[in-house]
Chains A and B, each alone.
Chain A
Amino acid sequence: MRYFLRRTMWLIFAIFVALTINFILPRLMPGDPAMIIINQLDGLQPQAIDSIRAAFGLETDKSIFVQYWDYLVNISQGDLGVSISHYPAKVWDVLAKALPWTIGLMGIATVLSFIFGTMLGIAIAWKRKSKVSDAILGLFLFIRSFPYFWFGLILVYFFAFKNPWFPLGGAHSISVTTADGWAYIKSIIYHGLLPGAVITISSLGYWMLTIRNNMINVLAEDYITVAKAKGLSINRIKNTYAARNAILPSISGFAMAFGFVIGGSLVTEMVFSYPGVGFMLFQAVQQQDYPLLQAIFLFITVGVLISNFIADILIMLLDPRIRDGAK
């Protein structure tokens, strides 16, 4: 219980820090980016200018603390300002359209890659002397060294352009809408396969390598020798004795890896013009839509923090030592 409380406090605190970084960042930048942008974007509506001024702390009549307070109040009311590129739409409304796509695609792909990567890692650690294990390990060391977006480009080139088996991009074909029901869902799945495969395959190596190394460490433990000496079945040794212990550090190592994996996934969306948060981030960068850019950063960060929190809870359920606060 103390562990749970600690993790909850940490979650709240980390979100608070993310909010603060988000607030400070534009105010830290050298020069005066806000004015440059306002000047760059001729004919900007006054409300958009206000939005930028607020975002950059150009409301010079207010002290920084007042600005900070206003910022927190605004965010708590779901007010993230006005988007420049989608003017006069509110940032929150723009973002809300992209979120489900990203959560759907990235969520499924990440869970799949974690499951497959973990299973594969367990398998190659168990049979670590075989040539096949070595080959799999080498293959994923290689794949892991490529930027996701390039891997995406290659798949698009070969499986969408050269051989038009899959669509080049987008989340569903333009001809179907929610009204089409099953056809709409089918189209979504069809469009999600290729980007999903990129994210799954590219991030799989991470989970696989982590669990493999954990697994090899665990396999050298005395309790594995005891399990063998006791005459337990291979499956019980592999799963209940080795893998269950090897997965624990893997889940707590989720924090770092997930932040990295999500970065790659965002760029994958750009390659596939997938209408999620990553593609929107790309557009925001290109159109210098700073209010939107910051909102996206905030959302991704909060998303990662919440995923970490879930991992923390999961590990509490799986590790009796953590439940008792003994570790």
Chain B
Amino acid sequence: MIKDMLKLFIENKKAMLGLIILSMFIIVAVFAPLIAPFEPKQREDAAGEFPLRSEPTSKHLLGTTHAGYDILSRLIYGTRLTLLVGMVTGIITTFVALALGLISGYFKGRVDDVISFVNSIFLVIPSLPLIIVVASYITIKGVLPIILVLSLTGWAWGARVIRSQVLSVSEREFVKVAEVLGENPFIIVFREILPNIISLVMATFFTSTLAAIIGEATLEFIGLGNVSAVTWGTMLYWAQNNAALLYNAWWWFLPPGLFIGLLGTSFALMNFAIDEISNPKIRKR
């Protein structure tokens, strides 16, 4: 089941493209010190201090910031934290959604009522304003609060779709058989149900990571993150606060956004591929 899934995934062109883009970003993140010409917080080298607000030059391919940081180096190092926050948030969100979806879909009854109820509240409350309010109350600015806030508000949709899928899978014959045989419910959940909703879990991961990357960038752009951290979001924050636009410094605000979009697209592509694979109607035959 899972193997077939992965095979189809690899064979899907959209998934492959997404995977390639993602791998490139991962390589950039891992080997940042080798690729980047300078350290992200370096303002001078042997030749002297870096110029401020420099245009692209042969030394600083994407120019420098108002504080004299090399933009290209920041962009490359920024991949690390951006990717980390996005993926970790995606994983936590998916985990929460999966746990709640499984519990509520399989055990039904009271637990389900309570979870579904909280779920529908979280679904209708607009997440970004909620995130902004919560984030602005948190006095410690940093990566961890962002991850927590984004995961706390992002699980609702995933939990809802996983629940309904679990409901339908648990009506299937092989689950009924396992139940009649008196199998431990947790074993049923993990051995019989989980493998059958794996594509949905993957899709949830891709969408929540996509949402997390955009959410992270947005929070940081507003200044609700740790502004001294090096991420694409904070790069845009500094660019905006220093009127990069009006200085015509496209090399400052264009690349980080483009990278956010590309990274987002890679997840969007993989998500779309999963949809195609698991829904034979959408699949182009």
Binding site for B on A (CB under 8 A): 14, 17-18, 21, 25-26, 29-31, 33, 36, 128-129, 141-142, 144-147, 149-151, 153-154, 156-157, 161-162, 213, 216-217, 219-220, 255-256, 258-260, 262-264, 266-267, 270-271, 281-282, 285-286, 288, 290, 293-294, 296-297, 300-301, 304-305, 308
Q: In the complex the two chains form, what is the Cα distance from A21 to B137 in whole Å?
A: 14
Most A C-beta atoms less than 10 A away, residue of B121, B126, B248, B256: B126
Question: Given contacts A25-B134, A145-B268, are A256 and B221 in contact (CB under 8 A)?
Answer: no
Can you offer 27 A-B residue contacts whose CB atoms are under 8 A? A33-B137, A142-B261, A145-B265, A146-B214, A147-B218, A150-B217, A150-B256, A150-B257, A150-B260, A153-B240, A153-B253, A161-B246, A213-B282, A216-B281, A217-B282, A259-B124, A259-B125, A259-B128, A263-B127, A263-B129, A263-B131, A264-B128, A285-B222, A290-B136, A293-B133, A297-B129, A297-B130
Q: In the complex the two chains form, what is the Cα distance from A14 to B121 in whole Å?
A: 7
- In the bound complex, residues from chain A placing their C-beta under 8 Å from that of B282 are 213, 216-217
- Interchain CB contact (< 8 A) of B265 among A142, A157, A213, A304: A142
Give the total number of A-B pairs whose CB atoms are below 8 A apart.
Answer: 153
Question: Given contacts A264-B128, A301-B129, are A146 and B245 in contact (CB under 8 A)?
Answer: no
- In the bound complex, residues from chain A placing their C-beta under 8 Å from that of B130 are 21, 297, 301
- Interchain CB contact (< 8 A) of B126 among A26, A141, A150, A304: A304
B136 touches A288 (CB 8 A): yes
Question: Given contacts A145-B268, A217-B281, are A153 and B222 in contact (CB under 8 A)?
Answer: no
Residue of B at shortest CB range from A305?
A: B124
B127 touches A29 (CB 8 A): no
Q: In the complex the two chains form, what is the Cα distance from A300 to B127 in whole Å?
A: 10
In the complex, whether B37 has a CB less than 8 A from a CB of chain A is no
A145 touches B133 (CB 8 A): no
- Interchain CB contact (< 8 A) of A153 among B129, B137, B245: B245
In the complex, whether B284 has a CB less than 8 A from a CB of chain A is yes
Residue-wise, chain B 131-147 has the 8 Å CB interface mask toward A (1 for contact) of 11110111100000000
- In the bound complex, residues from chain B placing their C-beta under 8 Å from that of A301 are 125-126, 129-130
- In the bound complex, residues from chain A placing their C-beta under 8 Å from that of B157 are 256
Q: In the complex the two chains form, what is the Cα distance from A2 to B164 in whole Å?
A: 24
- Interchain CB contact (< 8 A) of A25 among B137, B221, B267, B275: B137
Binding site for A on B (CB under 8 A): 121, 123-134, 136-139, 156-157, 210-211, 214, 217-218, 221-224, 236, 240, 245-246, 248, 250, 253-254, 256-257, 260-265, 267-269, 272, 275, 279, 281-282, 284
A294 touches B133 (CB 8 A): yes
- In the bound complex, residues from chain B placing their C-beta under 8 Å from that of A147 are 214, 217-218, 221, 257, 260-261
Residue of B at shortest CB range from A212?
A: B282
Most A C-beta atoms less than 10 A away, residue of B121, B224, B279, B282: B282
- In the bound complex, residues from chain A placing their C-beta under 8 Å from that of B256 are 150
Residue of B at shortest CB range from A29?
A: B137
Q: In the complex the two chains form, what is the Cα distance from A204 to B250 in whole Å?
A: 26
- In the bound complex, residues from chain A placing their C-beta under 8 Å from that of B279 are 213, 217
- Interchain CB contact (< 8 A) of B222 among A270, A297, A304: A270
Question: Given contacts A266-B128, A300-B126, are A154 and B254 in contact (CB under 8 A)?
Answer: yes
A267 touches B261 (CB 8 A): no
- In the bound complex, residues from chain B placing their C-beta under 8 Å from that of A128 are 284
- In the bound complex, residues from chain B placing their C-beta under 8 Å from that of A153 are 236, 240, 245, 253, 257
B133 touches A259 (CB 8 A): no
B125 touches A21 (CB 8 A): yes
Question: Given contacts A142-B261, A142-B265, A161-B245, are A260 and B128 in contact (CB under 8 A)?
Answer: yes
- In the bound complex, residues from chain A placing their C-beta under 8 Å from that of B253 are 150, 153, 157
A145 touches B264 (CB 8 A): yes
Q: In the complex the two chains form, what is the Cα distance from A281 to B224 in whole Å?
A: 12
- In the bound complex, residues from chain B placing their C-beta under 8 Å from that of A142 are 261, 265, 268
Q: In the complex the two chains form, what is the Cα distance from A293 to B138 in whole Å?
A: 14
How far, in Å, is B215 (CB) from chain A's closest CB?
8
- In the bound complex, residues from chain A placing their C-beta under 8 Å from that of B250 are 157
A17 touches B121 (CB 8 A): yes
- Interchain CB contact (< 8 A) of B124 among A213, A263, A304: A304
How far, in Å, is B145 (CB) from chain A's closest CB?
10
A31 touches B126 (CB 8 A): no
- In the bound complex, residues from chain B placing their C-beta under 8 Å from that of A213 are 275, 279, 282
- In the bound complex, residues from chain B placing their C-beta under 8 Å from that of A146 are 214, 257, 260-261, 264
- In the bound complex, residues from chain A placing their C-beta under 8 Å from that of B136 are 285, 288, 290, 293
Q: In the complex the two chains form, what is the Cα distance from A21 to B281 in whole Å?
A: 41
